[in-house]
Amino acid sequence: MTPPTPPASQPGPDEHRILLVEDHASARHGLAEYLSASGYGVLEAANGAEALNLAMTCTPDVIVLDLGLPDIDGWEVARAIRAAPATAAVPIIALTGAALPHEQASAMRAGCDRHLAKPCQPADLLRAIRLCLDPTER
């Protein structure tokens, strides 16, 4: 078992904590840097097991979840997060190459609140995060 990926940044007392789950290291690190520069505390996970561990121990404010993970797929991760009382209400954004309408519907049935197709513009991801944190924001 590989050790968990260290967080990109430790959230300050007023920062929202984002759990970023992406198995491709370069994509994960680039998004983590962008989110951190945008004022978010970022926790990184490279696979489903790390994601579940961090979700349960750190209770993030939003989870950005790749669905195509190497160990536990993102659909199963989303279902496990929804099933746990401590994380059941945490918004999940699917960020994935699975962009066909039936794949989007499948992500929503698994418990994702939003779906973004890769490649995704960073501004679109920020808007989705902001909407998860404050649904009244437009």
The domain containing residue 35 runs over which residues? 17-133
Task: Classify residue 6: in a domain, yes or no.
Answer: no
pLDDT at 98: 72
Task: Classify residue 58: in a domain, yes or no.
Answer: yes
More confident residue, 3 or 116: 116
Task: Classify residue 7: in a domain, yes or no.
Answer: no
CA distance readout (Å), 36 to 77, 97, 134: 24, 23, 19
- What residue type is 49 in one-letter code? A
pLDDT at 61: 97
Q: Residue 19: which region, alpha, beta or left (left: phi > 0; alpha: psi -120 to 50)?
A: beta
Tell me, what CATH number does 46's domain have?
A: 3.40.50.2300
pLDDT at 137: 62
Task: Classify residue 94: in a domain, yes or no.
Answer: yes
Give the DSSP letter string of 18-74.
EEEE-SSHHHHHHHHHHHHHTT-EEEEESSHHHHHHHHHHH--SEEEE-S--SSS-H
Task: Classify residue 50: in a domain, yes or no.
Answer: yes
pLDDT > 90? residue 63: yes
pLDDT > 70? residue 7: no
Task: Classify residue 8: in a domain, yes or no.
Answer: no
pLDDT at 46: 97
Task: Classify residue 2: in a domain, yes or no.
Answer: no
For 104-122, how does the pLDDT look when each residue is reduced to its tens digit (9 = 90+)? Answer: 888 888 999 999 998 889 9
Task: Classify residue 121: in a domain, yes or no.
Answer: yes
Q: What is the pTM of this model?
A: 0.87
More confident residue, 100 or 50: 50
Most confident of 18-27, 66-75, 127-136: 18-27
Give how many domains the chain has, as a whole number.
1
